[in-house]
Structure 1
Amino acid sequence: MPDDRPDLVEALHASGLVQRTVTDHSDAPLTDREAAPLGSIVTLGGAVTVGGVDFGLIAGPCAVESYEQMSASASLVKAGGGVALRGGAFKPRSSPYSFQGLKDEGLRILSKIGAESGLPVVTEVVDAATVELVAEHADVLQIGTRNAQNFTLLQAVGEIGKPVVLKRGFGCTVGEWLQAAEYVLAAGNPDVVLCERGIRSFEPATRFTLDLSAVAVVKHLSHLPVIVDPSHGTGHRHLVKPLALAAAAVGADGLLVDIHPEPTAALCDGKQALDRDSWLDLTGTLSGVLASLGRNLTVPAAEPVGAGA
């Protein structure tokens, strides 16, 4: 509706029939920077935050493979100063013959490791029918690139009340990405973290083209925190570190990084996963880059906050 009729807006609210009025100056007014000029901070697992001055690290393997693998991964995350553990229980893959994830068993493993490690757990939800199930086991629900415009799913995670990491669709413009986030916010969930993970272009040298310019654009347009996934954005582990450092320099609020205790044995995306030495090298260098910018790594939670805690 037009925003030059404050009398009409006041009358609508006074009627008790209207919860919110939306003016016509923006396609995504709830994500618009004007809605929170100082920026939003999203709390993961009730204790750690993404957004603000500090820089948050979320890391773990692309897929949950076993209890032992996830336990070792959680130890790696904590060794590098990470604040949350990621791992996919449901894995939508391009090929139907690729590993599709452990599904329910993967969720149970994640929940157990989260409780034992004290790390909030982040995992992907792939359809509206499993939102409640995933929310029972995870602290943060991830929307993958293939579901970035699955509007039924976006509404469902908006209604469930858990923080959401919303990856940019590999074919989405920045405007479409923000409108996808608007679905979640409009459904009642303000806790959305945007994740740039690369877009499809003509360039075959990398798996996708990591669009770091989008970070600066979104930080200008929206109040939502923005993190970067340099692992899926490049597809090659030797490119993860330089792009991760560049993400920090351009103003991202954190990273989502693939790490694995044995990348060569990984059932999913092993070529982009960092091993222990590469992960610790990245986080050590990153600390120096952030210090030069007057920033720090987010401090991990002191108390257990995992979904199973």
Structure 2
Amino acid sequence: MIIVMKAGATKKDRDEAIKRIKELGYKPHVIHGTTRAVIGAVGDERGKLVLQSIESMHGVESVVPILKPYKLASKEVKVEPSVIRISDTVSIGGKEIIVMAGPCSVEGEEQIIETAKAVKAAGAHVLRGGAFKPRTSPYSFQGLEEEGLKLLAKARDITGLPIVTEVVNPETADLVAEYADILQIGARNAQNFALLKKVGQLKRPVLLKRGMSMTIQEFLMSAEYVMSEGNQSVILCERGIRTFETATRNTLDLSAIPVLKGVTHLPVIADPSHGTGNYHYVAPMALAAVAAGADGLIIEVHPDPERASSDGPQSLKPKKFDALMAKLKLVAESVDRTV
């Protein structure tokens, strides 16, 4: 259920409503709109009729049932798009298309600093790079771990770019949160509910990638796990799903972008690097994603992809990334956005 407060409701009115929601055994989540606040009351569906009594409280306009199974992520709770603040200069979900770029893995100081400077010069807003790497094979490069986080932080100090990096388990989540500006949940962990709950308790925006075989509803239910723990700053990422096609690494589901934009207030970005697995296809799919309504992109860039420790075939060299950024500006303008 959502409790819609009146336009002139005071903080005292809201606090009284929150207190009553808790007394009835529900968990309140305040969502601030442009003209009024609403309070999501999440809990056992079987007893939701008791919440109707809140409608008589001072400052409350109405109590409305939420029909979607994903309560807090639904547009039923918040109609206008959420704009998530990443840093003093970067927010995602507004008119500006936010581009996150960098290597799949942090391999060393020279590599990550060189890449950070290159993507910054090309116009990227956020530096991506993996310090902890969950790999299909136990023999593949697993990342530099905390040393990689320190190198990402150094790159941020030099360039001013906020950083996004992956969290792979609840045990290291607090460590990653000490360094990262955005916590990434990869496709393999998209239904790791213990991890989703953990990052939901941390005060960092979360970039949630779609699982390789997840439906849209399952994807949004994973976002709901994060949000139900109190963290409303979730960014959804379409990164391709597994189909019968073998010409690309995955099938980048661009139709998911307008579908998600129609049912959730959360920002949606696309990952054409993992979505295709081939650098030849990254630029055209990035342009198509922006045309489809994506709020941002996450793109792999490496100064020497042939020698990359992971995902070299899908990584752009800095010159190709620079050329892509120039084209992105043109497409963004055509859909009334900026880069």
* SS, match of residue 282 in structure 1: helix
For 2:162, the equivalent position in structure 1 comes to 120
Within-5 A mapping of 1:1-309:
13-14=19-20, 16-17=22-23, 18-20=26-28, 21-22=41-42, 23=65, 25-297=67-339
The alignment of Structure 1 onto Structure 2 pairs a total of residues equal to 291
Shift of 1:113: 1.2
CA contact (8 A) 2:205 2:233 kept: yes
Counterparts of 1:120 and 1:219 in 2: how far apart (Å)?
25
| Deviation string, structure 1 residues 170-212 (Cα, Å, up to 9, x no partner) | 0110000000000111100011100000000000000000000
| Further displaced range: 58-67 or 45-54 | 45-54
Shift of 1:46: 3.9
| Further displaced range: 235-244 or 32-41 | 32-41
CA contact (8 A) 2:119 2:318 kept: no
CA contact (8 A) 1:207 1:235 kept: yes
| Deviation string, structure 1 residues 16-45 (Cα, Å, up to 9, x no partner) | 524422445111110001222110011113
Counting aligned pairs with the same residue, the percent is 51
- The 3 A distance-change label for structure 1 pair 158 and 46 is farther
* SS, match of residue 183 in structure 2: strand
For 1:306, the equivalent position in structure 2 comes to none
| Further displaced range: 118-127 or 19-28 | 19-28
CA contact (8 A) 2:2 2:77 kept: no
CA contact (8 A) 1:13 1:19 kept: no
Q: Which runs of 5+ in 2 are unaligned?
A: 4-15, 29-40, 43-64
Counterparts of 2:18 and 2:90 in 1: how far apart (Å)?
38
| Structure 1 residue ranges, 4+ long, deviating more than 4 angstroms after superposition | 10-13
| Further displaced range: 237-246 or 285-294 | 285-294
For 1:305, the equivalent position in structure 2 comes to none
CA RMSD, Structure 1 to Structure 2 (Å): 1.6
Residue identity opposite 1:274 in structure 2: L
For 2:53, the equivalent position in structure 1 comes to none
When the two structures are superposed, what TM-score results if normalisation uses the length of structure 2? 0.83
Counterparts of 1:94 and 1:11 in 2: how far apart (Å)?
48
- The 3 A distance-change label for structure 1 pair 34 and 11 is closer
Counterparts of 1:221 and 1:15 in 2: how far apart (Å)?
26
Shift of 1:2: 10
* SS, match of residue 201 in structure 2: helix
Residue identity opposite 1:289 in structure 2: V
Q: When you count strand as a share of all residues, which structure comes out higher?
A: 2
* SS, match of residue 299 in structure 2: strand
Residue identity opposite 2:135 in structure 1: R
Residue identity opposite 2:203 in structure 1: G
Shift of 1:261: 1.1
Counterparts of 2:102 and 2:250 in 1: how far apart (Å)?
20
CA contact (8 A) 2:268 2:295 kept: yes
Counterparts of 1:265 and 1:288 in 2: how far apart (Å)?
32
Residue identity opposite 1:260 in structure 2: H
CA contact (8 A) 1:45 1:140 kept: no
Q: Mark the structure with the bigger radius of gyration.
A: 2
| Further displaced range: 210-219 or 39-48 | 39-48
CA contact (8 A) 1:226 1:253 kept: yes
